[in-house]
Structure 1
Amino acid sequence: MFTFLVGIDTDEQRARTQAETIASMPLESDNVEVVLVHAFSENREGGTVEQVKSVRVAQSRLEEAGIEVRPEGYGGDAARAILNVADNHNADQIVVAGRKRSPTGKVLFGSVTQSVILDAERPVLVCSGDE
C-alpha cells in the first residue's frame, strides 16, 4: 500500500489541485491510500475535519478516482501536524500546495510548505496552487 499524506488548508482550489495531481498519477488505485490532514488553528465550536469544504473537495475527487481516503483533523501548527501524521502513518510521500508570497511575507508569516520541505524525512511533492 502506497500512502500519501496530503496537507489541506482552507483553500478549495489548492485542495482540488492536490487531489487532481494524485488522481492523475499512473497508480493502481486499489494500492493507494490518501490521508487528508487539516490543522485547525482555532476550533472553538468543535467542528470536524469533514465540515471543512476544501477537505470535502479533495476527498470527493480522490474517491471519484477510486482511491481510499481518510480525513484527519488536528489542532495547532499546520507544518508540525503534517509531519507528525506522516510519521504516524509511515507515509510514502507528503503532498502540499504552495502559494505565491513575497519574500517579506515569507519572513513575517512563515510558510507551512517551506517548513514541511525543510523538516520532512520523506519525499515532498509541492503542487502549484494555481489552476
Structure 2
Amino acid sequence: MYHVLVGVDEDEERARACAQEVLNLPGDTDEKTVTLLHSFTDNPGGASATQIASVRRASDFLDEHGIDYEVLESSGDPAESILDAADELNADLVVVGGRKRSPAGKAIFGSVTQSVILSSSRPVMVTGVVTRA
C-alpha cells in the first residue's frame, strides 16, 4: 500500500496533474491512500484547505477514481510544511507540481519544488501540467 503526500498549491491544473499521477502509480486504487496538503502563506479570510479550488479539484479527481484521501492544511513555508508532513505521516512518496520558472525567478522567489527535491529523505515525484487535446 502506498501512502502518498501531495503538496497542493493554488493552481488547479497542477493539482489535477498530481492526482492523475497518483492514479497512474502501480497497483489498484484500494492500495493507495493520499494526503492532500495545502500550506497557507497568507490567509486573512481564514479559509480552510477544503475551500481552496485546487484542493477541491484534486479531491474531486480522487473521489471519481475511488482513491481514499484526507486533506491537511498548514501555514508557513510550503516546502518545510511538505517535508514535515511527509516525515510525520511516514509517506512512501511525495508528489509536487512543477512549473517553469526562469533562473532569475528561481533565485529571487525560490522554488518549493526544488527545496522539496533537495531536502527530502523520501522519493519525490514532480509532475507537469497535463495538456488536454
The separation in 2 between residues aligned to 1:9 and 1:41, in whole angstroms, is 10
CA offset at residue 35 of structure 1? 0.3
Please give the secondary structure, in 2, of the residue aligned with 1:115: helix
Structure 1 segments (4+ residues) deviating >4 Å: none
- Residues 86-125 of structure 1 aligned to structure 2 (within 5 Å): 86-125=86-125
CA offset at residue 130 of structure 1? 4.8
Q: TM-score, normalised by structure 1?
A: 0.96
The separation in 2 between residues aligned to 1:13 and 1:46, in whole angstroms, is 24
Q: TM-score, normalised by structure 2?
A: 0.94
The separation in 2 between residues aligned to 1:27 and 1:65, in whole angstroms, is 13
Which residue matches 2:56? 56
Q: Which amino acid aligns with 2:117?
A: I
CA offset at residue 20 of structure 1? 1.1
Q: Which amino acid aligns with 2:73?
A: G
- Residues 63-102 of structure 1 aligned to structure 2 (within 5 Å): 63-102=63-102
Please give the secondary structure, in 1, of the residue aligned with 2:9: coil
Tell me which moved more, 25-34 or 77-86.
Answer: 25-34
CA offset at residue 46 of structure 1? 1.4
Which residue matches 2:10? 10
CA offset at residue 24 of structure 1? 2.5
Q: Percent identity?
A: 47
The separation in 1 between residues aligned to 2:11 and 2:130, in whole angstroms, is 11
